[in-house]
Amino acid sequence: MLIKQMTVGSMAVCCYLVACEETRKAIVIDPGGNEGEILSAIDREGVTIEYIVNTHGHPDHVCANGPIKEKTGASIIMHEDDAAFFAKPDVKQYFSMLGLPASPPPDKLVRDGDVIDVGNLSFEVIHTPGHTPGGICLYAAPHLFTGDTLFVGAVGRTDFPGGDLKTFMHSIRQRLLPLPDETVVWPGHGYGGLRSSIGDEKRTNPYLNGDF
C-alpha cells in the first residue's frame, strides 16, 4: 500500500493519496484544498483515482472534491447520513460562512460495514457519528484513516451543527479503541502529530479518559 499524506488548504487538512502498488489504482481521502498539489502527486505516482472518499462533509474536507473529480473522473463517496445532513438548506447556509467551495453531490453513498475495493486493497467503512452524523473512518489493516474523529493526542470537536459529544465518545471507544494496538492512526488534521497508533492513543490521549 502506498500512502502519501499531504497537509492542504486554509485549515491544514491531512489529505491522503492511497494506492494499490500492484494495480496503481488509488483513492483520495479528504481533498481539503490545494488541488494542484494533490493532482501533481497523482501524476508523479502514476496512479488512477477511482474514488474521492470524504470522512465527513465539513467544507474544509470536501472543498477540492469538484476539481479533483473533474480532472480524474473519480466518484465521490460519502456516508449516507452526511450526504443528507449537508444537503439541508440551513446546514449549507451555516457552513457557507467558511467561504470554501461546495462539493458536488456524492456519487456513491456508504454505511457502516460497507467495503470500498480499490485494486487489491479493501477499506472497511466504520461509522463514527458525533463529529457529524455521518462521520466515518476507513480501515485497511493495519491502517486507519480517522478524519476528524481521532487525532494524535486529541479528538474532533462537537460544537458544530450535527455534533454530539456523548455519541462521539461512544463511537471512539466502541468502534476504534477495540482495534489492535498496532493499528496506525492517520488523522484528519496534524494538530498533535501526523501519525499515531491505537495503542498510543489508548495510553496517552487525555480526551479518552473523561467520563462520557
User: Which CATH number describes the domain made up of 2-209?
Assistant: 3.60.15.10
Burial class (CB in 10 A: 0-12, 13-18, 19+), 67: middle
Q: Could you read off the pLDDT of 133-155 as tens digits, one per residue?
A: 999 999 999 999 999 999 999 99
Q: Is the pLDDT of residue 211 over 60?
A: no
Amino acid at 211: D
For residue 194, give the nearest of 154, 142, 134, 140 by alpha carbon: 154
Kindly report the pTM of this predicted structure.
Answer: 0.97
Phi and psi angles of residue 199, each rounded to the nearest 5 degrees, phi first:
-60, -45
Model confidence at 177, pLDDT cuts 50, 70, 90, reads: very high
Q: Rounded to whole angstroms, how far apart are CA atoms 136 and 52?
A: 14
The neighbour count for residue 16, using CB atoms within 10 Å, is 23
Q: Rounded to whole angstroms, how far apart are CA atoms 212 and 210?
A: 6
For residue 199, give the nearest of 170, 169, 178 by alpha carbon: 178
Grid cell locating 2: 502506498
Whole-Å CA distances, 153 to 8, 60, 118, 132 = 21, 21, 30, 20
Mean pLDDT of the region 17-43: 98
Q: Rounded to whole angstroms, how far apart are CA atoms 110 and 101?
A: 23
Q: Rounded to whole angstroms, how far apart are CA atoms 166 and 161?
A: 15
pLDDT > 70 in the chain, percent: 99
Grid cell locating 112: 457502516
Model confidence at 210, pLDDT cuts 50, 70, 90, reads: low
Q: Could you read off the pLDDT of 100-120 as tens digits, one per residue?
A: 999 999 999 999 999 999 999
